[in-house]
A and B are shown apart, each in its own frame.
Chain A
Amino acid sequence: MEQIDLLHTLPAAFNGQTQIVSDVWHRELVFRKGEAYLLEAASGTGKSSLCSYLYGYRNDYEGIICFDGRNIRKLGMREWTALRNTSLSLLFQELRLFPELSAQENVELKNRLTGYKTRRQIEACFERLGIADKLHVAVGRISFGQQQRVAFIRALCQPFDFIILDEPVSHLDERHAGAMAALLQEELAERGAGVIVTSIGRHLPLDYTKILYL
């Protein structure tokens, strides 16, 4: 996938609001592969909604979203499943980890689907993000900040053209945010992929091509 187009897209919940000041909603906007976008937003401006539209699990919006010119409303179950394995990755704001499984098993659950990383590579990622000691601990028993990093590693265990990170550093200090950014840079370079990061305050420190205000 080379680009994502938003054509006058607007969450259905915002319908009827006349005064919308936004770089994203109700505009024509293109996200290109290989570039980094930061979406800054106050809470309640539809940030997570945009992520869910792009990842295909909600469609309560008006206007059109296209992947390489194809309206994503027309994509079926099989196509979305394939996209989520090969072209699109998402770090959920609510993480969506399985608390009863260990950190390593959570990552493995995704990786065994794609076979993208080796066990050693995954362990190296844990090491770099400073959670190597949590590898075999049930995710329900580690802090949210640590869980964020586990979910981030899981999001890296697949090929993608775009990775969407929904508030990836909301619970991380600067040191860990920096480690995450560095790892992300490498992974993006390896795939030539684009990234869309959302934030309500603290930013993931990256070289952004474009900063947009929702």
Chain B
Amino acid sequence: MNILWRLLRQHVSMAQLSGFFLAGLTGTVIILFGLQFYLDVSPLLRGQDGLFKREYLILSKPVSTLGSLLGSKGTFGEKEIKALGTQPFVHQVGCFTSSAYRVSASLGMEGTGIHVGTDMFFESVPDEYLDVASEHWHYEEGSRVIPIILPRNYLNLYNFGFAQSRNLPKLSEGLLSMVHLNIRLSGNGRADRYEGRIVGFSNRLNTILVPEAFMKWSNAYYASADKIEPSRLIVEVKNPADERIVKYLQAHSYETEGDDLEAGKAVWFLQMLVGIVLLIGIVITFLSFYVLVLSIFLLLQKNTKKMQTLLLLGYSPGKIALPYQLMVVVLNLGVTVLALVGVWCLKGICLSRLRDLFPMLQEGEALPVWLAGAGLFLFVSGINIWIIHRKLKQVWNGK
């Protein structure tokens, strides 16, 4: 065996190094597994096909008894919309535009004598907020056909509530899209007949929608030209898990439809949990690193006289430091490799359990975890190497 190493390894404490090894391994596994878990699970909460689709929030102002009595409008002013649009968590803001004229719709089944009619309303939002893709969703001026999107809730209400209780036939989406509605629009001293065609059903938008182009034209044509303030906004947010959203909405007392923000809170909770786990891992890793540094210092201190003599014999500080540096690099490498293997095993167990609950769960990326492991290894080893080198210089200077 190398004579130099035989000299320098004296006072190497196996107990201390094993302590470092175990603590380092624990810390690294926690950090890397926390990261891997986050990568695996977060698409489930965040992605397009995830558990919660909540990139869109629909905002309104609360309707209160007092407000209604005092004639509060409950609409969003231009300033409010602009302020909302500049928030860092907002991607874009769209307005719901309401029809400012009378709309009545009737449904007649020819030959049966059945004729039902009702007063109703239209709303529109910019097309990019729609969750329905239909080739019929467009309007050209002069056309007498109005494409309409209904909330899927309405159909469900009818099918599972009304039809069930009255023994009426249930209606499919396909069937409904064949029904032609007679629409009558009136206002501004004009009245015209149109044909309404149901082109889709929306989960996201709980209203009767027409294309924005039609809404613009019809509002100008059938209503006075006054600008109408929207009472509802649709907001596309960058990260629904952003806690600033909840704070902002509370500060301005806006309301959201559905439990969109509950889902956001779940993501936020997951992030916090992973954050805590990562923090624990980092603390343990730091402590293990500290143990290693202390035992290196102790070792070098005990071997100071030997190192001084070796320097006097003509060994360069680098040559004397090298065995110690190799030792810590090998230790760190062992920790990293074992930790990565451990994370890989844990990931397998964890994913198979999670798939029982969420069969659509995809395996998250592994590369960031590998990179994090390599980064941690390089960082810790780099500092170790530097500390040993510095200590040798101190020995040279007789300190």
A interface residues with partner B (beta carbon < 8 Å): 55, 57, 77-78, 81, 84-85, 90, 92, 96, 98, 100-101, 105, 108-110, 112-114, 154, 158
Contact = CB atoms under 8 A, between A and B. Distances in A.
B306 interface: yes
B111 interface: no
15 contacts: A55-B312, A57-B311, A77-B317, A77-B396, A81-B314, A81-B315, A81-B316, A90-B312, A92-B312, A96-B309, A100-B10, A105-B3, A109-B7, A109-B313, A112-B3
SS class of chain A's interface: helix, strand, loop or mixed? Answer: helix
Given A57-B398, A109-B3, A84 B314 contact: yes
B323 to A, nearest CB: 13
Nearest to B313: A110
A185 B313 CA distance: 22
B4 A109 contact: yes
B239 to A, nearest CB: 54
Nearest to B305: A96
Interface string B276-313: 00000000000000000000000000000010011111
A105 B3 CA distance: 7
Contacts of A85: 314
Interface of B: 3-4, 6-7, 10, 306, 309-317, 393, 396, 398
A101 B6 contact: yes
A208 B137 CA distance: 112
Nearest to B6: A101
Contacts of B315: 81, 113
Nearest to B393: A77
B363 to A, nearest CB: 53
Contacts of B316: 77-78, 81
Given A98-B306, A100-B10, A113 B313 contact: yes
B312 A84 contact: yes
Contact of A110 (B6, B311, B314, B396): B314
Contacts of A98: 7, 306, 309
Contact of A101 (B7, B312, B396): B7
